[in-house]
Amino acid sequence: MKKGKAEQFVQGNAACAEAAIAAGVRFYAGYPITPSTEIAEILSARLPEVEGKFMQMEDEIAGLGATLGASLTGIKSMTATSGPGFSLKQELIGYAALCEIPCVIVNVQRGGPSTGLPTGPAQGDVMQARWGTHGDHPIIVLAPSSVGEMYDLTVQAVNFSESLRTPVILLADEVIGHLYEKTVFPEEGSLKLSARPRPEKKPGGKYLPFAVSSPSDVPRIADFGDGFRFNVTGLIHDLDGFPTNDPRKTEALLTRLHEKINSRIGEICLVDTENLEDASLILCSYGATARSCAEAVIEARRRGLNVGMIKLKTLWPFPDFVFERCAGEGKTVIVCEMNLGQIVHEVQRVANGRFKVAGVHTCRGSMITPKEILDKIGTLS
């Protein structure tokens, strides 16, 4: 893929792989699985060209385990998967959250539980992305709806992961992963990249890797091999990294993990809106389904209907604030998603009776069409 202002015809998974390189990712470990395999295939060739490392692992668990190990040495690291592979990574996602290990996990969703439909699209992993792993944990989940956003949000996922020392999930779907689209990518070197917080002092003496100045701070954890001596454990730990069962320290740690995300919601929650000012019906969607919603808005407006749109690019933490503009008598938000109801429950929670909520939901392994959305608009107009 060429860099620069020239328009290019690029696949979504290829855009993700190239964005990872541009964002500074230099390690990838994973296991091939449709419909994300192209990401691994491309990075297996591209990473050696930039002095990076690619490893095909024996299974999905090892893929994320190696990714976390590389990240602990200070290298920006990523893995990619789909469906059942994402399920297998859940334990180590929790480990990464607790140990504050930066990494990006790409999940190109496919249809159905179990091995499902490898080449059929779905958006059924939304709740798993938020609640799949064990215990109280924060998470950032981004959802691209175009090839351009696949590039931009991959870079953003790396930046969030590094600056906040947290796992970040890029939740794409088969349509976006396999879509070829004309796209203009940023110039080489023009991206604003983030670095993870590292110790400001030199090795030696007492080192507390998880010490912070305030409850929303990100700890300055050293890279393995830099001369600092510290412990990393998946158990609840004290400021020195060693296990503790102290209730106060346990609550302080878990609260801080959430607060470092929640205190930055304005920065993390990325949302596009359209025609909300006069809209009585508002479509809400994400990923590939947002494309059908955009077409439905154009046609509805052509018919004289006041229809607007909210496109969620950040799914978690959920952007409650954007729905403040939906409040009002007679307003309805129609949530469109390729599942039988996941994000719609979050919208219902935020609505709290201030506006009506409806939905267009499918689970057939194919896109929701603009016509289906327009038919729903027709029943509510």
Is residue 174 within 8 A of residue 121, CB to CB? The reply is yes
d(CA 230, CA 208): 8
Q: What percent of the chain has pLDDT over 70?
A: 99
What would the pLDDT profile of 197-222 be if each residue is shown by its tens digit? 999 888 888 899 999 999 899 999 99
What would the pLDDT profile of 70-118 be if each residue is shown by its tens digit? 999 999 999 999 999 999 999 999 999 999 999 999 999 999 999 999 9
Question: What pLDDT sits at residue 52?
Answer: 98
Is CATH 3.30.750.24 the classification given to domain 8-183? no
Split at pLDDT 50, 70, 90, the class of 304 is very high
Q: Does pLDDT of 180 surpass 90?
A: yes
Question: What pLDDT sits at residue 5?
Answer: 59
Closest CA to 80 of 112, 39, 114: 39
Q: Long-range contact list for 316-319, CB < 8 A, 24+ apart? A: 316/129, 316/130, 316/139, 316/140, 316/141, 317/138, 317/140, 317/261, 317/262, 317/265, 317/268, 317/269, 318/269, 318/346, 318/350, 319/265, 319/269, 319/271
Question: The dihedral of CA 217, 143, 24, 137: what is its sign?
Answer: positive
d(CA 37, CA 85): 12
What would the pLDDT profile of 21-38 be if each residue is shown by its tens digit? 999 999 999 999 999 999
User: From its phi and psi, is residue 276 left (phi > 0), alpha (psi between -120 and 50) or beta?
Assistant: alpha
Mean confidence (pLDDT) of the chain: 96
Class of residue 105 by CB neighbours under 10 A (exposed 0-12, middle 13-18, buried 19+): buried
Question: What pLDDT sits at residue 351?
Answer: 97
What average pLDDT does this structure show over 253-276?
97
What average pLDDT does this structure show over 175-193?
93
Q: What percent of the chain has pLDDT over 90?
A: 93
What would the pLDDT profile of 333-350 be if each residue is shown by its tens digit? 999 999 999 999 999 999
Question: What pLDDT sits at residue 160?
Answer: 98
d(CA 267, CA 253): 22
Residues in the chain, overall count: 381
Split at pLDDT 50, 70, 90, the class of 41 is very high
Q: Does pLDDT of 376 surpass 70?
A: yes
Fold of 272-380: Rossmann fold (3.40.50)
Spans of all domains in the chain: 8-183, 272-380
d(CA 323, CA 335): 12
d(CA 263, CA 258): 8
What would the pLDDT profile of 129-141 be if each residue is shown by its tens digit? 999 999 999 999 9
Q: Does pLDDT of 3 surpass 80?
A: no
What average pLDDT does this structure show over 53-70?
98
Question: What pLDDT sits at residue 329?
Answer: 83
Question: What pLDDT sits at residue 2?
Answer: 60
Higher pLDDT: 310 or 6? It is 310
Question: pTM to 2 decimals?
Answer: 0.97
184-188, 305-309, 371-375, range with the lowest pLDDT: 184-188
Instruction: Collect all residues with Cβ–Cβ distance below 8 Å to 98 and sequence separation of at least 6.
Output: 135, 137, 234, 236, 237, 257
